[in-house]
Amino acid sequence: MQETGRWDLTPLYESLDDPRIEVDLAELTSLIEGSRGFFEQDKEELVLVTEAVELFEKVEILVHRLFAYMSLLSSADTSISRTIAYMNQIRGILAGFQEFDVSAKRLLAGLDIEELAKHEALADYKFILQEAKDEAGYLLDAELEEMIARLEIYGVGAWETLFSQLTSSATTDLDGEQKSLTELRNMAYDPDQDTRHRAYEAELSLYPQIEKSIAAALNSIKGQVLYLGKRRGHKSPLDESLFKSRMSRQTLDAMLEAIVEKNEVFVRYYQAKARYFGQKQLHWADMFAPIGKLPSGYTVEDSRKMLVSSFEKLHPPIAELIDKAHEDEWIDFYPRENKVGGAFCANLGFIEQSRVLSNFDGSFSAVDTLAHELGHAYHGMRIEKQAPLNQDYSMPVAETASTFNETHFLLEQIEASNDPEEKLGLLDSMLMNTSQTTCDILSRFLFEKRVFERVESESLRPEDLKEIMHDAQVEAYGAGLDEESLNPYMWACKSHYYSASFSFYNYPYAFGSLFSAILYKKAQAEGAEFMQKYDEMLTATTVSTVEEIGNLVGLDLTDKAVWLESMESFEPLVAEFERLID
C-alpha cells in the first residue's frame, strides 16, 4: 500500500530487490560489451547508422530507467546506500560505451545527413544526427574518450564530491549551537533582521575553515575543463557551453547586454527594499528578507485546487496535467528525515510520466514551487511522443515551461489580492526571484568567465577568488546593494561551479526567466491562439536550436530589443512595489 503523500515508483521497479534491476543491468552490460568492434562490420554505411541508432535507443531507455529509479529513490531517502553503489555501477558500465559513441560520430562526420534523413528509419533523427556530426569535430580518439570518462569518476568527480562533503559537513557556532552552512543560509529568509544578520556573519566566519580545499577543487575542475576543451577544439569553455546549449553567442550577448542596460529596473527594487529597512542601500543579509505577508496554511488538496483553477483559465491542458500528477501519485510532498531539501522534477518520457519532489510545508512558497515543478512536468508531457533519442532539451530552454507556470500563478495572485500587505509580499516574492536570475546570475557569469581567463596561468587562491567575486557583484548589482556587505564567498557555496560536465551553469537561468516573461506577455495579448504555438514550441525544444525555438513563437532571440522588452515588462511591478513601500 502506497503511503499517502509519497510518489509511486513502481512503474519503474517494485523495489531495490526487484529482479528486473539485475536483468536490466545485465542487458545493458551485454549491449555495451557487444558494441565493441561494431563499426568494423562489413556493412553499408546506411545499415550501420540505422543499426547504431537502434542500439543507442535501447541503451538510452535502459539507462534512463535504471538511473532515474536509483536517483529518485536516493533523493527520497539518502540513507539507502545501495542506490549510490548502483549509480556508480551504471556509470562504470556506460564508460565502456564511449568508444562506440565516438566511432558513431566519426562515421557521421563523413556522411550527408540530408541524404540519411530521407530514409524512414532515420527521418525523425535528422536534428540529432546533424548535432552528432558537428560534435565529431570536438572529439578525441575513441580510446582516449573512454579513458577520460573512466578517470573522471575518480578525478574531477572526486573534486566535486570533496566540495559537497566539505560544504555539507562544515559547521560553526551560532548562539551556542553548531549550525551547518545550509542552516545558516536558510536563515536569510528569517523575518527577524537581527537573526538574518547574525546568521550571515556566522556564514562568513565558516568559510575560512574550508576555503583552501574548495579553492583547490575549483582550480582543478576548471583547469581540466579548460585543457580538455582546447584539446577537443573548442575556443573556450564558454563556446563549449554554448555548443551544448544549442545557443549562439549572438543570442547570449544580446541577452546579457539587455540585462546590463536595463538593470536599473532591479536596482530600483533593491533600493525600495532598502528604504523599507531604513537603509540607504540594501544590506546583503536583507536581500531575501520577507516583507509584507504571504498567505499560508494550505493543505496539499488546497494547492491542487488552486493550481488547477488557475491554469484552467490560461490553458486547460496544463490544468489537466497538474490534476493527473496529483491523482496518479507523481509527487513526493512532505519533508522528512533523510529526504533531500528543495524541489525538482524528473521527466520519465519512456513511461510517459514525470516525478516531482517537493518539501511541502503549507506555505504560499510551497504552492508556488509546485506550480514551477509541474511546469517541468508539462514540458515533459509535450515531448514524450518524441523518439527515444529526441527527448533531451538544452539547458537554456529547460526552465522555460516551469518559469512560465510560476509567472502566471504569481501574477494572478498579485492581481487578485486586495490586501496591500499581501500584495507587497507577493510582489517581493516575484521580484526577488527575477532579480536573482538577472543580477545574481550576471555576477555568477562574470565570475566564472574571469576564473577561466586566469586559471590556466595561475593557481587562484581564496583571496583571488574572493576578489573576483566581489568585483563581479559590484558590477552586477550596481547601486542596489551596500558594497561593504557583499558576499565574497558565493563561489564557495554554489555547486554549479564545481560541475565538469556543464560549465557556465548560470546564463540558462537568466534565459529561462526572461524568455518566459516575454512568452507570457504574448500569451496575455494573443490568448488561446498563442498557447497552441507555445505547445508546439515546447515539443520542438528537443530538436531545435534556441534561435529556432524563438522563431516558432515569432521572436528573434538574437535581437537585443526582445530582451529589453522582457526586462521592461517588470517595470510596472517595480513601480507598484515602490508605491506600496513608500
Cα separation, 483 vs 284, whole angstroms:
9
DSSP 33-49: HHTTTGGGS---HHHHH
For the chain, the distance separating the N- and C-terminal CA atoms, rounded to the nearest angstrom, is: 55
- Cβ proximity of 302 and 201 under 8 Å: no
- Cβ proximity of 67 and 87 under 8 Å: yes
> Which residues are paired to 354 by β-bridges?
347
Please write the tens of the pLDDT for every residue from 282-323. 999 999 999 999 888 999 999 999 999 999 999 999 999 999
- The whole-number pLDDT of residue 2 equals 47
399 in helix, strand or coil?
A: coil
Residue type for 152, please?
A: E
Q: What is the pTM of this model?
A: 0.91
Work out the number of other CB atoms within 10 angstroms of the CB of residue 146: 19
Domains in the chain, ordered, with CATH? 19-154 (1.20.140.70), 160-170+210-291+431-507 (1.10.1370.20), 300-418 (3.40.390)
C-alpha R_g of the chain: 24
Residue 175 Rama label (left phi>0; alpha psi -120 to 50; beta): left
The CA-based angle 326-329-334, given to 5 degrees, is: 85
DSSP letter assigned to residue 384: T
DSSP 213-227: HHHHHHHHHHHHHHH
Q: Is the dihedral of CA 518, 519, 520, 526 positive or negative?
A: positive
Q: Grid cell 573512454 — which residue?
A: 146
Cα separation, 179 vs 379, whole angstroms:
38
Q: Grid cell 529597512 — which residue?
A: 277
Residue 515 — φ and ψ, nearest 5°? -65, -45
Q: E strands along 86-201, which residues?
A: 171-174, 177-180
- The whole-number pLDDT of residue 290 equals 92
CA-to-CA dists, residue 94 to 87, 99, 500, angstroms: 11, 10, 17
Cα separation, 68 vs 176, whole angstroms:
41
Positions of the chain with pLDDT lower than 70, given as ranges: 1-3
SS (H, E, C) 460-524: CCHHHHHHHHHHHHHHHHHHHECHHHCCCCHHHCCHHHHCCCCCCCCHHHHHHHHHHHHHHHHHH
